[in-house]
A and B are shown apart, each in its own frame.
Chain A
């Protein structure tokens, strides 16, 4: 009887996050205020708040936290850098056998870069524990792993490059403060397109990255859109969010679907061979802005890229993906066909993921 009680206690005492039947690890993105107000807790409190509004399925309620924190005033690599701060947190989860049945890593923005670096260099970073760090898939929301032109401008300003006034004011609107000459801009250095793309070059392990890309407007979008190549979500360009190998000017992640769901040919989009290996941008939204992706905000139509969903199912399929979408002919566009994820407008992005995508 005592043994039975113990078994039940063990079974029900630890509540784990669950997406697609897998435990979840959350890795957040860049926080510009860390540059002028270096956090003393390595960004832990901000990280916990970062995911406010996320679907509860993503959150772990006991044991080591699955919300990985890191401070934005640090560089990605190096002694005392972001990886050195993230590693022990993942070690704690691995010690709980959290990824024994494979984890799903969910990233937002710069978290994409952090996750890619961790996974590509898993063996040397984790040594003997690398085999415990089993990952089924990564879900990248507004992934900044390919960098953003905003970072090039920010680093340039801090290093004395004489940009036009529109650049300086655009960065001010984005960051919320003036980037001054000599300011240590931390991980912004790593978000420059050349740097980001050399941190995470190809030759990845065969872990699928399911990507959600948007082209919506933040309040400061009017100032940052002109600074970013192609379409963007006010911070991250599509060339990064889609997982494209070229930092080119794109209007969509797919050549057969527009970001607003119109089923049409789009020339300014990467071919599948022009995506990083195992990167599948399967969800797009015209109205999703950068800092909305990870919150509880609703009201955004989303579309699916069926060709890439199909490709993912055949190449990887490590977590079950079946996007609940439909097509309809819109009268206001002369009955042209559009594709939407069902009820997406009534749900947040993370709820759409658990209810309409990974199922």
Chain B
């Protein structure tokens, strides 16, 4: 009887151990840094929703508790893991502080890396992945003029072969092929301008690599940016000026077809090169010469702590879609950057930006709660 009890206990213990190992093994194969985290820490923020009817037992503001915690290896959480957890929550707080005070057409760029969000005409990475390997292709641009080279890059990890074949295809026909060698897992590629041999609207860029006796193939499209005839052409920025709480940046444009146009650009510090604000203006223009007026709010410039001078870069001009053809038509931009004069913050007025939509939302919520 005693032996049976001992045996049963041993079996139970073994089952528990197997369960423990299984949990950690499945997490490990996902290649995540998984850390057991306690309660969620949330932002310390002013209450906006006075009509809240939450039945949550949890309060909105909680702090991370210093329970005895382990990561999936069964070790105590290391300092860097705690930093990662806290950093995830701090990011949310930073995001909040930036977003609600600024107009969307004068939007602070949270981090230098976040400028990627605001760079127009980018290719998106496409890839194949499996157990222990990845293979990715990205074109530098999505819209490409037939007079421009077609560029991009491929990267791979966990694949022993280094040779990649890159093909341009137009409706099933190969237009051009190059073979490139991966160096430390990545390599750029470039095709010379296709000119008139580019017939269709879109081409496919196809990348192929051999892995484990099979071919991995991925493809990504590029579209022809037909500039002739274009409905708009950007010229240059006129002298910027302070207008109350705003830095106004007039940028001249020639319009050949009346309609709605949008101009977007990123404002960079001329001294440090740091991206500061995403700026945008949208107007309805008649045929002839007109001005976009990019407007940077002083609060956004102060947030980024830069009085200028500045550079406008990542420029994008387009006629926005309207009946009957509902097409976006890119405009001609012959310059990559424009210099913008800055002004001391003391020259701006102190008016905060008030989003009339946000104000309406707040008043609506207040009327409901009353």
Contact = CB atoms under 8 A, between A and B. Distances in A.
Interface stretch (B114-122, B179-187, B235-243, B303-311): B114-122
Contact of B40 (A161, A204, A306): A306
Contacts of B326: 77-79, 81, 83-84, 87, 125
A83 B321 contact: yes
A124 B34 contact: no
A227 to B, nearest CB: 8
B119 to A, nearest CB: 9
Given A159-B171, A273-B114, A324-B55, A337 B37 contact: yes
A101 to B, nearest CB: 9
A202 interface: yes
A76 to B, nearest CB: 9
A314 B361 CA distance: 12
A124 B258 CA distance: 11
Given A123-B320, A276-B117, A263 B171 contact: no
A322 interface: yes
Interface residues of A, number: 96
A340 to B, nearest CB: 12
Interface stretch (B104-112, B287-295, B342-350): B104-112
Nearest to A335: B36
The majority secondary structure among interface residues of chain B is mixed
A265 interface: yes
Contacts of B173: 160
A277 B34 CA distance: 27
Given A197-B124, A202-B118, A315-B99, A79 B110 contact: no
Contact of B219 (A155, A227, A307, A359): A155
Interface stretch (B41-49, B245-253, B331-339): B41-49
A315 B54 CA distance: 18
A306 to B, nearest CB: 5
Interface stretch (A29-37, A41-49, A51-59, A186-194): A186-194
Contact of A189 (B20, B143, B221): B221
B56 A326 contact: yes
Choose among A78, A124, A205 the residue with the greatest number of B CB atoms under 10 Å from its CB: A124
Interface string A220-264: 000000110100000000000000011111010001111000111
A164 B355 CA distance: 52
Interface string B13-50: 00000011001000000111111111110110110110
Interface in A118-159: 121, 123-125, 127, 136, 146-147, 149, 152-153, 155-156, 159
A351 to B, nearest CB: 17
A206 B101 CA distance: 12
A318 B324 CA distance: 33
Nearest to B203: A159
Interface in A262-301: 262-268, 271-274, 276-278
A156 B323 contact: no
A9 interface: no
B68 interface: no
A256 B40 contact: yes
A195 interface: yes
Nearest to A258: B34
Contacts of A264: 34-37
Contact of A308 (B23, B45, B92): B92
B370 to A, nearest CB: 15
A96 interface: no
B30 A317 contact: no
Given A79-B325, A123-B260, A265 B84 contact: yes
Most buried by B among A21, A121, A273, A324: A273
22 contacts: A125-B320, A125-B326, A147-B124, A149-B127, A155-B221, A156-B206, A159-B171, A159-B172, A160-B169, A161-B204, A194-B126, A203-B278, A227-B128, A265-B81, A265-B84, A268-B31, A311-B96, A320-B52, A322-B53, A322-B56, A325-B56, A326-B56
Given A164-B217, A267-B33, A314-B48, 8 more contacts: A84-B326, A249-B129, A256-B85, A265-B84, A266-B32, A276-B117, A277-B107, A306-B40
Interface of A: 21, 77-79, 81, 83-84, 87, 121, 123-125, 127, 136, 146-147, 149, 152-153, 155-156, 159-164, 167, 181-182, 189, 192-198, 201-206, 226-227, 229, 245-249, 251, 255-258, 262-268, 271-274, 276-278, 306-308, 310-311, 313-318, 320, 322-327, 332-334, 336-337, 339, 359
Interface of B: 19-20, 23, 30-40, 42-43, 45-46, 48-49, 51-58, 60, 81, 84-85, 88-89, 91-92, 94-96, 99-100, 104, 107, 110-111, 113-114, 116-118, 120-130, 134, 139, 142-143, 169, 171-173, 202, 204, 206, 214-223, 259-260, 264, 278, 280, 282, 284, 319-328, 355, 357-358, 361, 365, 368
Minimum-distance CB pairs A-B, first 5: A160-B172, A124-B260, A124-B320, A193-B124, A322-B54
